[in-house]
Amino acid sequence: MAIQKFNDLLENSEDPVERIIHENRCMKVSLIGFGSGMMLREKKVTNPTKLTVLSGSVKYFEADRKILLTQYDEFEIPVDVRHYILADEQSICLLTQDRLNQNN
């Protein structure tokens, strides 16, 4: 999916837009786009996952911890920990998930 098409989807959405851009048996890579103030609902990951901010800034929340991530910051999301993400401004993030080391 072209980045411009992804941006067009985001402009017309009230919720974060998530699209898989690569997937195989070893890994899954997704783009997540946020408008200012959008929240990616609370969830937990079951395998090693890295969040990379490509543009904008987001806050990562879990229990008693809040982390501000800005352009080019990377963050390893802990496995089996409830968390959510809130965008401070229009942002695009890359989510990379390892499928070889699943904790299922």
pLDDT digits (tens, 9 = 90+) for 79-94: 999 999 999 999 999 9
pLDDT tens digits along 45-72: 999 999 999 999 999 999 999 999 999 9
Tokens describing residue 28: 């899954």
C-alpha to C-alpha distances, 25 to 10, 39, 53, 80, nearest whole angstrom: 28, 29, 24, 21
